[in-house]
Amino acid sequence: MQKRNAIQLNPKDNVAMCIEEIKKGDTIFLAGNISFVAETDIPFAHKTALTDIQADDDITKYGYSIGKATTAIKKGEWIHTHNIKGGSRL
């Protein structure tokens, strides 16, 4: 069993927070033996997509929308200001 390197904070979330730096091609390990490959480099404490996300879909963290995708995002890609716009809560 591999050590987790990302955490899904709420079951409703479509992102996970990386708890260590992830390089493109590395395996991302979550609780429950869930794993997938990183499509991009992801810095420590940044978000990765848990599913494919379409442009204008909500980005959900802590069980709430934290913004909208500005472009399509593949599972395992880094999510940050280059592909998300802030929601009204921010």
- Extract the tokens encoding 46: 């940044």
Determine the Cα–Cα distance for residues 18 and 3; give it in Å rounded to an integer: 12
- In this prediction, residue 87 carries a pLDDT of 64
Residue by residue, pLDDT tens for the chain (90 residues) are 689 999 999 999 999 999 999 999 999 999 999 999 999 999 999 999 999 999 999 999 999 999 999 999 999 999 999 999 986 554
Side-chain half-sphere of 53: how many Cα atoms within 13 Å?
Answer: 25
- Extract the tokens encoding 52: 């494919």
Cα radius of gyration rounded to whole Å, the chain: 12
Each domain of the chain, given as residue ranges in start order, spans 6-86
Determine the Cα–Cα distance for residues 66 and 3; give it in Å rounded to an integer: 28
Domain 6-86 of CATH type 2.30.130.110: yes
